Every structure is written in structure tokens, then in C-alpha cells.
Structure 1
Amino acid sequence: MRVAAAFVGIAMLLGLTAEAMAVEVRGVRLWRAPDNTRLVFDLGGPTEHSVFTLSAPDRLVIDIPAGQMKAALDQLSVENTPIKGLRSAQRTPSELRIVVDLGARVTPRSFTLPPNQQYGHRLVVDLYDEGAAPETPAATATAAAVPPVRLAPSPSAKRDVLIAIDAGHGGEDPGALGPRGVREKDVVLAIARELQRQINAEKGFKAQLVRTGDYFIPLRKRTEIARKMGADLFVSVHADAAPRTSASGASVFALSDRGATSETARWLADTENRSDLIGGDGGVSLDDKNPMLAGVLLDLSMTASLSSSLDVGQKVLTQMGRVTPLHKRRVEQAGFMVLKSPDIPSILVETGFITNPGEASKLQKSSHQQALARSIHQGIRQFFHASPPPGTLLAWERDAKLLAEAAPIARTHVVSAGENLLQIAQRYQVSLASLRRANNLNSDMIRIGQSLRIPATSLAVQP
């Protein structure tokens, strides 16, 4: 009896230990992106997991060996997603199985995240729609297979200048957090939408959002999306944070020289990117160039993009200084991942410090968001009116204006006593024949007081 009691005691102790070591699933959240659905499970601590799919019917199974369900799965809204519902079962006191019933086939990818400023341990499960390629860590690191997308316009085309607007963070990544729960991802998406509205209201410009809703996009994929758009400028909108709540002011960043150098090396080392085109179809292919020439060509592209980035960045910063205090009055340079596109001028705009209570309050006001968007828009407009990309309506209008300004002005001349037609032609440096044609004259006979039209082909006017 004592032996039996001992075994029972040990079994009870092991059961309690297993239960005590179990990790609770305390909540579940969902975000829908254009090509995937992200499920996030909030955990009580770190844990292992496994994921696999089943068919007939389509299901996704998530096993958490040391898990216990404490969240209400039936309260999760799954509208406009491939998910039909979620259910769970406790296979043992410490082994949890979660089943995701699907209405369409998906490609899953899962990983865990450590605690951050807002959340604790998390299990993230991304469900990519059929035909959409999941982001793998390797793909994120090398940005492989970026397709050439920017088409060279025909000489007669008058396309819009295209601005890619990237609202930072999103979804599971809230960005910087301010007083009373204000989140960077919400503020910058509102500013980005307002900037898009203002740009699209102007003839010759078009703006598209990289992130259209509350979901996360990997950093390198953001620049890839901009390249697929054929963007002429990439603008990433953020709100800064600092340990000191007194830090304030807006900033504009461009890529650092060191960042540009490292990015050139990365692109040259990536065989997929070497086969790509700088600027898309009609650009310069690196695939058939020797390494030295390829490096020079790519360096030239990066240098040109960086120069344009600094130029447009300074114009944007100057305009922003008229509506909000500036943290620095010159464009700063850093190795931000989203700025590392070799063929698209790219800037990162910090609209203010969300950790500063005063600026956080302003950043949430629609009037201030409109003013910030207007200042960014004005800087962009100023840059592209001065340097319009070839094939755009702005370039066509600039060239037409230059031609009009260069063309000589048609003049009239009133015949005085003693003048003849040859003298008048010589004075205005036009041929006698062109002067006759301009005035429908059948002979060289003219009269005093007669008004003659001087052809607009004259190069100079004699005093």
C-alpha cells in the first residue's frame, strides 16, 4: 500500500509540475493584408510549436506541446479572410492543439517573437493566399527575385510622376508608443492617406500607398512594392521616439554613404538582383557586365538616387519647418533598410516625437496631419517641377515652356518714308522671300504707314 501511495504521489506531483510549466495562450488577434492573413497568439512565456495542414476539408493544425488555452477563440472576427473558424482541444493537461478551419488553401509560415514594449511572448502564424509567396527569413535578407517592372515610356507618353507612400510599422508592429496609448502605426497611416489625397488632387502626380491598412510588411518588401509600382520617389512616413519626453521636432533622413556602399555590394553579390534591371525595362542590365563595370554602373545609380534623395529631402524639410518645429535643419543620413533602393530616390520623414506629450497630441489632430501632409507635398512638388522624370507630363510641360521662351517673338513694323522692303528685311535679319510670304505680298511695293508682320524666325533685332 505504501508503494502504491508513493506512485500516486509521484504521479500527482508530475501532473502538477507539467501543469505549472504549461504556457497559457492568453489571447489571439488577427490582421488581414492584401495577400495574407496574420494570426497572433499572446503567450504566457516562450514555447515550442509545430504547424501542419490537412485537406478534405482544408485545415491548419497548430500544436503547442506545453500549452493551455485561456483565450476565447469564438470571439475572433474572421470576415474577409480564408479562415472559417478556430477551435482548440487539450490533448493532455499540458498539450494543446488549435485547429484553424479554412475556406481556401493557404501556405503557412510561423515563428515566435520575444516581448516588446507593448506585448509579451507571441506565436505568429502567417497564412499566405494561394499563389502568394511567403516571406522567408532568407528572402527577407537577400531580397531575391525583385522583378523588373518600371516600363520605359514611349516618347509621346505623358505619364504622371508616381510617389510611393510608405506608412511605417503596422499590424503586430505598433511602432513607437506615446501617452495614453497613441500608436505610431495609426498616426503615420492617417498622414500617409492625407498625403496621398493631396498628391492625387494635383495634375501630373499620382500617389499610391505601400501599406493600405493595419497590417505588417517586411522592410525589404516595402521597397519591392515601390519598384513594382514603378515609383519615381519613395517616401516612408514615421513618428520618432526618444527616452527623453522633451525631445521634439520633425526630421528627414536619406541613406548614408556607408549604407549605399553596403547596398551596392549586396546587390552585386545577389545573382537574382544582378539579372535585374536598374530602373526596369529600358534600363541598364548588370547580367552581362564584368564585375568591375557592374559595380561602377550600380554605384552611379546609387549615387544619382542618393543625390536626388538629399535634394528632395531638403525641400521637404524646409517646407515642414513652416508648419512644425524641426529636430535638425539639415537632412540626416542613416542606413535605414527602407531607403536602400538603388534606382528610386528615397526619404524617411519623421513627423515628430510621439513620445513628447505635446507633439503626440498634435500628431493625432486631423488639422495638423493635413498641414504636415501639405508641407511634404509642397517639397515633393518643388523637387519634381525642377527635375521632372523623362516621359512625364511635367517634363513635357517644362520642355514646351522652354521652347516657347526660346522662340523669337513675332513683330510688326510700320513703314516710314524712304524705307523699302529689302531694307526692312535686312534690319530684322529675315529673308526677303519670308517677309513677302508673311505679308502676302506679290511684289516689293510698300506704302508709308503700312503695317508689316515680321516673321518669328528672326534671330535678332537691330536697334
Structure 2
Amino acid sequence: MPLELVKGGLARMASFVCGRVDWRSLGCSVLLGLFCSAASAVDILGGRIWPAPDHTRLVLDLSAATQYKVFTLSNPDRVVIDVKGAQLKGRLALDGLEKTQIDRIRTAPRGTGDFRVVLDVMRKTAPKSFLLQPNQQYGDRLVVDLYDQDKVPADEVVEVVPDVEKKRVDLTEKRDLVIVIDAGHGGEDPGAIGPGGVREKNVVLAISKQLDALIDKTPGYGGKLTRTGDYYVGLRNRTKLARKHNADLFVSIHADAFKKPQAKGASVYALSKRGATSETARWLAASENRADLIGGVGGVSLGDKDEVLAGVLLDLSMTASMKASLGIGDEVLQSVGRVSKLHKKRVEQAGFVVLKSPDIPSILVETGFISNPVESRKLNSRKYQKRMAEAIYRGLQKYFQVNAPVGTYVAWQRDRGQEDGFMAYKIQRGDTLSEIAKRTRVSVAQLRKINGLSSDSIQIGQVINIPAS
């Protein structure tokens, strides 16, 4: 069978690729994939390319799990993938190479009964490979992640995302309040799949981008996204990104699913005590974590502390973060409840990995059940995605208007008003004067008098004064 040219060029190296090869004479610079499961005849059904900011993911769809080898060659630089006992069904059409370090892809069967895929790369590349089991959307898969050789991750790679330049507001030189927004799943991981093929990864990315835009245009706030496109970011890497950006809050956006389509409603989660305890132990055991900071910007290093003191400091930090998470989660839940039915009427607690930053308040918002036909249609609607983002935004803003960290512009603005005996409050959708009075423990009559209101009527965006006490 002739060599198939997937991208440009002639079939150079055809005799090498198609002929019998003495593996010991190849001069491999890296041998990563070892035979990793029982061999059987398998079909390569297709493939996909997922360009991410710091690596390229190649996915081959297989009819069953099989053995494989991945290694590199130089002069010219190539990544070679040999799939044991495999044959290509149809055509391996892989688009989007122009955004990657891959120049072209060549394929051919080998005399040993294997199937070879050769990636001609434009620079030295360090591949990492593994098999994935079937999920809702795909069957068995072979995944090869291509990193530049000088940027290969030792354990977990921290995705590089476009940084958002910190805004400076007024002439106060107070820092922005930084909120990291995490769109769940992505790339080869579609998340839950609803009726009509609605994918969680697409829904939550759309909501996250809407939320990021709302946050970033608000004076004193800065938004960051853990992913900006359709690619996967590891769970621990999402929290690493929050730490990299010195986040004041981490918000992970998801859409729930259940085996019964009747399940419905939004939920908000914070970290459970059990999850916090296990994470404390993990941090204390890891030397790279002990040397890290707790307490956010200008926090405390654990590297020079003995075991007991480090444990106490870390436990205090985790306890404070969990308390803040529950407070933020409660405001977000109430706000989301004005645009969606709630699955649970209080903030739930669970051991989600993405909630386990010891010094960053973190919440996970389940925006609805994508497995419910009615909610799936809503979640796939741009109008509803915007409403959900606005609801989450209002909850966050309501919390931080009272609890903004010291040193931020939002806290400075609040404290400046308190010096005059008042605190400025911007009316949000769903606010009523009586509800504000109840929340701030001030009478409605007093609020009307302070603000010169002739009635209880208020408008979204209106700013009123509330007694600072």
C-alpha cells in the first residue's frame, strides 16, 4: 500500500517507513510508549488534532485498546507512532496543522502487521502518550501530546493562557480583585452530553467567557480564564493557574448530568472538610508545595517552618478559604436562583479537586442539568448563557462589595465610603429595598431617608448609601 500523504510534500523516507526496520539502529532519542496492553487486531477509525497554547494533542480513534510505541527521530525531526496489529479504516484526515509544530503527517502499514504514523515536526519535540477508555462520545483512543523539548512538563504542565493586563483604576494604585474562571472539561473531554448532542464543554466555555467579560469591564476587577478554547487543562493545573495569577477567587463552571432526565436545577459547591483534610496532608507531604506561599499575595512560606507549625498555618489558611467559599457560594446560589430553579437550596460541599487550593476561596457552579431536555435547550441558548453569567457575576459582586480583600480597589472604595459613615451599594437585578434593609440590618424608612427616596422603587445600576455600621 502506498504511503498516504496527509499534509504536503512527497513520500520521502517511504522505504524507511514501509520496510522492515532494525529498531536498535534507529538512534531513537526518546522511547516513551511501551507495549501496554494485550495485542489484538484493531482498526484506526480516525483522528483529531487539538492545538493548545503550550502543546499539541493528537488523538487516534481505535476499535479496541492495543499495544503501541512512540519515539522520536532526528535529522530531520520526527515523532513515530507504531500501533500494534492495526490497520487504517478509511482516510486519516487531520486538519488544523498550521496551528501546530507538525509540518505533515504520513502513514503506512508495516511488514510486521503494525501500522505506522510519522509526524514530521518543525522542531525538537518531546511526546507524552497514553490510552483513553471509551466515554459518552468516543471509543478507545491513543493520545499523543507533543511538547517543545525545552518545555516538557516534569509532572503536570501549567497551561499558558493569554494574560490579562492588570488594570489600574483612578490614581489610587490599588490592585484589582482577581477572579479566575474555569470552564470545565474541553478538548478530548466533552463532559456531559445532553439531548441533541449538546456538549458541556461548549456550554460552560460560553458562560465562562460571558462572565469574564462582565468581570473585566468592572472597575477594580480582573478576570482570567483557565482555558480560552477547546482544549483540555488538567484538574491540578487549573488550580495552579489560579495560584499563578494570585487569584482572590476561583470559580469553576460546569453543567450537571444524571441518568434520569427528570433531574433539574442549578447547584453551587464548596470544598468539604474531608477534602480539605486530605489536601492539607498532600501539601505537607510535597516539598514543592511546602516551599510555596499560602495566604495569597505576600503570604507565608511553609518552606522554613517545622512540621507542626506548617500544619497549623496550612489548616488556618484552608479553614479561612472554606469559610469565604461558603459565603461567596451562598450569594451566588441566591443570585442564580433568580434565573434558574435550584437543585439544592443551600451550598453543597464535596471533595472536587479543582476546589482544593488551600489559600484561594473556590466554588464550583453547576449551571443546570444538561441531561434534562428543557434545561439542555436553555443552556445551549446564548441568551440564557448570558443570563446565567450575569447571575453568577451579581452574586460575586454582592459578596465582594462587603468582603473585598484589603489592598484592592474595591476594598478601598468601600472603606472610603465608611469613613463618611456610609457604604456605597450598586443595585443589582432582583434587589428590593426591603431585602437590602434586611440584609444590612437597617430599616426601609432609614434607607429612604438617607437616600432621599420618595418610595421603595429602585432601579438596576442605581447607587445608594447604606450606613457603614
**TM-score by shorter chain over 0.5:** yes
Q: Which residue number corresponds to residue 44 of structure 2?
A: 25
Paired with 1:375 and 1:169, the residues of 2 have a C-alpha distance of 22
Task: Tell me: CA distance 1:74–1:353, structure 2 relative to 1, closer, same or farther (3 Å).
Answer: closer
Match of 1:227 among 243, 249, 252: 243
Q: How many pairs does the alignment contain?
A: 374
8 Å Cα contact 2:181/2:225 also seen in 1: yes
Q: Which residue number corresponds to residue 4 of structure 2?
A: none
Where does structure 2 lack aligned partners over 5 or more consecutive residues? 1-38, 159-165, 423-469
Match of 2:88 among 51, 66, 69: 69
Partner AA of 2:318 in structure 1: M
Bigger mean CA deviation after superposition, 271-280 or 296-305: 271-280
Q: What secondary structure does 2:310 align onto?
A: helix
**Cα offset for 1:156?**
6.3
Partner AA of 1:352 in structure 2: G
Q: Which residue number corresponds to residue 49 of structure 1?
A: 68
8 Å Cα contact 2:328/2:395 also seen in 1: yes
Q: Which residue number corresponds to residue 13 of structure 2?
A: none
Paired with 1:123 and 1:162, the residues of 2 have a C-alpha distance of 38
Q: Which residue number corresponds to residue 435 of structure 1?
A: none
Q: Which residue number corresponds to residue 294 of structure 1?
A: 310
Q: What secondary structure does 1:61 align onto?
A: strand
Listed as ranges, the matches of 1:273-422 within 5 Å are: 273-279=289-295, 282-405=298-421
Q: Which residue number corresponds to residue 248 of structure 1?
A: 264
Q: What secondary structure does 2:419 align onto?
A: helix
8 Å Cα contact 2:268/2:363 also seen in 1: yes
8 Å Cα contact 2:133/2:141 also seen in 1: yes
Q: What secondary structure does 2:72 align onto?
A: strand
Paired with 2:77 and 2:345, the residues of 1 have a C-alpha distance of 56
Bigger mean CA deviation after superposition, 46-55 or 63-72: 63-72
Q: What secondary structure does 1:73 align onto?
A: coil
**Cα offset for 1:54?**
1.1
**Cα offset for 1:305?**
0.3
- Bigger radius of gyration: 1
Aligned residues: CA RMSD: 2.0
Q: What secondary structure does 2:279 align onto?
A: helix
**Cα offset for 1:279?**
3.5
Q: What secondary structure does 1:79 align onto?
A: helix
Q: Which residue number corresponds to residue 110 of structure 2?
A: 91
Q: Deviations over 1:287-341 (max 9, x none)?
A: 1212111111000000000000000000000000000100001000000000000
User: TM-score, normalised on structure 2?
Assistant: 0.77
Paired with 1:311 and 1:75, the residues of 2 have a C-alpha distance of 47
Q: Which residue number corresponds to residue 181 of structure 1?
A: 197
**Cα offset for 1:128?**
1.3
Q: Deviations over 1:389-448 (max 9, x none)?
A: 121111111221122228xxxxxxxxxxxxxxxxxxxxxxxxxxxxxxxxxxxxxxxxxx
Q: What secondary structure does 1:94 align onto?
A: coil
Q: Is 1:164 aligned with 2:183?
A: no
Paired with 1:306 and 1:328, the residues of 2 have a C-alpha distance of 19
8 Å Cα contact 2:47/2:59 also seen in 1: yes
Q: Which residue number corresponds to residue 431 of structure 1?
A: none
Paired with 2:94 and 2:364, the residues of 1 have a C-alpha distance of 38
Q: Is 1:58 aligned with 2:77?
A: yes
**Cα offset for 1:134?**
3.0
8 Å Cα contact 2:70/2:129 also seen in 1: yes
Percent pairwise identity:
57
8 Å Cα contact 1:157/1:391 also seen in 2: no
**Cα offset for 1:113?**
1.0
Q: What secondary structure does 2:127 align onto?
A: strand
Paired with 1:115 and 1:74, the residues of 2 have a C-alpha distance of 21
Q: Which residue number corresponds to residue 17 of structure 1?
A: none
User: TM-score, normalised on structure 1?
Assistant: 0.78
Q: Which residue number corresponds to residue 203 of structure 1?
A: 219
Where does structure 1 lack aligned partners over 5 or more consecutive residues? 1-19, 144-150, 407-463
**Cα offset for 1:271?**
1.2
- Runs of 4+ with >6 A deviation: none
Bigger mean CA deviation after superposition, 371-380 or 99-108: 99-108
Match of 1:113 among 115, 132, 138: 132
Partner AA of 2:126 in structure 1: T
8 Å Cα contact 2:48/2:94 also seen in 1: no
8 Å Cα contact 1:28/1:71 also seen in 2: no
Q: Deviations over 1:34-65 (max 9, x none)?
A: 10110000001110111111112111001112
Partner AA of 2:349 in structure 1: Q
